[in-house]
Amino acid sequence: MNKKIINNKSILILLTIFFILIFFKTFNNVYVIERNNYEKRLTKNYGYCDKQGYGFVRSTVNKNKIKENIRIINNFKSLAAIDVLFYNFNKNYNENYLILLNYENKTSPIIFNNIIYEIFDNYNNQCFLLKKKKND
């Protein structure tokens, strides 16, 4: 009798655990975490040069060794800005640089808010790291 109760309990526990793992898609989640590191997942979810453009911002900041904060402007206004992910409270904005995301532009220089910028880094003519043009 006791054995039967133990068996019933164990089966209930196992079934519940199995249901929970399926309900939360745990197997798939573990698989994705295992196969893609954190940066890869962030780039996939925030987009490289689409959506919030996390991938482009991360790579261009690292590539160009920019230590200060940069203003990021995303043409997709319906998405929240991701400046805060890169923001350092102990540093100021470097006003010489500007990142434009999801912009259609093929010509250089770019005039933005009446300021002339030259293209410093470009991905697919859609995402740009701009540098303020010096007056000759």
Partner 1 sequence: MIEIIAITLQFFIFHLFFSTPLNTLNYKKLNLQLSLNYFDIIFCNIIFHSFILLIISFLKIDLLVYFITILIISLVSNFSWLKKKLFQDINIYTIIFPVICLSIFFEIAHHAVLGWDGSAHWFWKVNFFYQDQDIESYKNLPLSQYPHLGSYLWSFFWKNSLLNYEYMGRLFIPYIYVVSLFAICMDIKNRLYGILFIILLLSASYDIFLFSGYQEYITFAYICFLSKFIFSDKKNYNDKLFSDTIILIGSFCLLWIKQECFFYVIFLNFCYIFFVKNKNSEKIIFSTILIFLLMLYLLIEKNFKGEVGYQAKLDLSNLEKFKELNLVAIYIIEITKHIMIAFFKYPILILNILLLFFNPLQNKNEYRFILVFFLLNFIFLYGVYSIHPAPLEEMLPNTIDRLLFQISSIGIVFMGRWVNKINN
Contact footprint for partner 1 (CB under 8 A): 9, 12-13, 16-17, 19-21, 23-26, 28-30, 32-34, 37-38, 41-42, 45-46, 79-82, 84-85, 87-90
CB of 93 to partner 1, least distance (A): 14
Q: Which is nearer to partner 1, 91 or 111 (CB)?
A: 91
Please identify, using beta-carbon distances, which residue of 72 and 122 lies nearer to partner 1: 72
Task: Choose between 28 and 124: whose C-beta lies nearer to partner 1.
Answer: 28
Least CB distance from residue 71 to partner 1, whole Å? Answer: 14
Straight-line distance from the first to the last Cα atom of the chain, in angstroms, rounded to the nearest whole number: 94
Shortest distance, position 54 Cβ to partner 1, whole Å:
9
Least distance (Å) from partner 1 to the CB of residue 64?
22
In eight-state DSSP terms, residue 88 is -
> What's the CA dihedral at 53, 59, 60, 64 to 10 degrees?
160
Closest CB to partner 1 among residues 38, 67: 38
CA 64 to chain centre: 18
Q: What is the dihedral of CA 125, 130, 135, 136, to 10 degrees?
A: -50
Instruction: Please name the residues in contact with 109: beta carbons below 8 A apart, sequence gap of 6 or more.
Output: 116, 117, 118, 119, 133
Instruction: Quote the CA–CA distance of 1 and 6 in Å, as a whole number.
Output: 9
